[in-house]
Amino acid sequence: MRKNQTDKLRLAIIGLGYVGLPLAILFQSKGFDVLGIDNSMEKLECIKSGKSYLSDFTDDEFKRLSESINFNTSTTYEGIRSVNVCILCVPTPLNKQFEPDMQYIESAIDSISPFLGNGQLIILESSTYPGTTEQFVLPKLIEKGLKIKTDFLLGYSPERIDPGNSSYELKSIPKLISGVTEECKQKIEMLYSQVFDRTVLVSSPVVAEMTKLLENTQRFINISFINEMAILCNGLKINIWEVLEAADTKPFGFTKYSPGPGIGGHCIPVDPLYLSWRAAQQGMGSKFIDVSKKINDEMPHYIIKRIRELLEVNKQLQFNNGKLLVIGLTYKKDVNDVRESTALTIFKKLLKEVASVDYYDPFIPEIYIDGRSYSSISTINENLQDYDCVVILTNHSNIDYQYLVKNSNIIFDTRNQIKGKNPNVIAL
């Protein structure tokens, strides 16, 4: 696997979601021959027809990918026989007991193992608990009768993607890498250095796995802390946003985090729980993570409490008789992802407690909840006065917030999107 020999390298990327597909596009754009494998025929049809299912990519980008001569897709795994590299980008959720659910990694191993044996390099990119690569993936492959070094090589390189953030190109984000042997490390570094501006080689997969969890756990704890400060400041009748702006003038020792309705997405609220589970397996505690999870779990209840107070105090209206408009259901702005979204959790609770609730989200035109379909209102440019309160849960960039201010009765802004003093806007 030599540099600038992309014509001799063929990659298979397992899982074409928000991690796998951008990676496939990056390798394809650098001249690698890429096979994208996914169990979802719907995704493959979208790629074929040039219809983007990821908010960071346009239909035109999907169309160019489908028309390229060095990118193919499949729902089957026979093509693994002819690839040099197999990158696993599959989900790693938690089960109902908040334990790592390894079924997708295990299924991927089961699917590729019959076609290994030619020394293929296998790289896991999914976020997971420390020890997964060497204590779970490696033994599973060996159980299949495969031998490390001769039949396959193995390493880990955690994804570092921030959906909705156009400030960083994927190739510009330093790529953390490691392997289970020195040869594995060498081959992984040779591969990724051809498409990423910088690679960061660490001593072992467990260090890379822990690094990924440390990055996300730090963010989880800090946002949870700021959310608790927002609750405290509201109780003391202090503007948390003014406090944060003032604190941010300190040139050292302070990092600004913003409060909101709760932490969502597949990574930030999930990854720390891999770590707390792993700590418990070793008989250790993880107090910061436990407290942070408790704060995050309570945020939807707090947001609804604030909405209730706004209606009953400002409008002299019984909460359950209100008519509300929720702005945004996704877990963060400018994405079409509702996984672990606290905005969606709040919307679901409001549906059960309030007489009338509509939502507006240009990224989620329709959503199914408990077997029923709900559709986003088509525009916010009409009938805003009909709503007793507009609740901003996700601050998408393509919304005219000044129009909201001018035409709404009361706005509860959980993101501080609307700056300045407006008498009908209440910030978190």
Return the pLDDT at 45. 96
| Cα–Cα distance measured from residue 343 to residue 322, given in angstroms and rounded to the nearest whole number | 18
| Cα–Cα distance measured from residue 245 to residue 243, given in angstroms and rounded to the nearest whole number | 6
Instruction: Give 100's DSSP letter.
Output: B
- 156 vs 56, higher pLDDT: 156
| Cα–Cα distance measured from residue 86 to residue 12, given in angstroms and rounded to the nearest whole number | 5
Domains of the chain with CATH codes: 6-203 (3.40.50.720), 218-427 (3.40.50.720)
Residue pLDDT, tens place only, 199-241: 999 999 999 999 999 999 999 999 999 999 999 999 999 999 9
Name the β-bridge partners of 176: 200
Residue 82: pLDDT band (50, 70, 90) is very high
Percent of the chain with pLDDT over 70: 98
Return the pLDDT at 315. 75
The pTM (predicted TM-score) of the whole model is 0.93
Active-site residue 184, yes or no?
no
Q: For 139-187, give the secondary structure using H, E and C.
A: HHHHHCCCCECCCEEEEECCCCCCCCCCCCCHHHCCEEEEECCHHHHHH
Mean pLDDT, the chain, rounded, equals 95
Catalytic site residue from 86, 89, 184, 267: 267
Return the pLDDT at 165. 86
DSSP, collapsed to helix, strand or coil, labels residue 242 as helix
- The answer on pLDDT for 6 being more than 80 is no
**E strands in 207-333:** 323-327
Return the structure tokens found at 205: 């997969």
Residue pLDDT, tens place only, 63-77: 999 999 999 999 999
- The answer on pLDDT for 2 being more than 60 is no
Is there a contact between 178 and 155 (Cβ–Cβ < 8 Å)? yes
Return the pLDDT at 8. 67
Return the structure tokens found at 351: 């549906």
Which residues are within 8 A (CB) of 72 and not within 5 positions of it... i.e. 6 or more apart? Answer: 34, 35, 36, 79
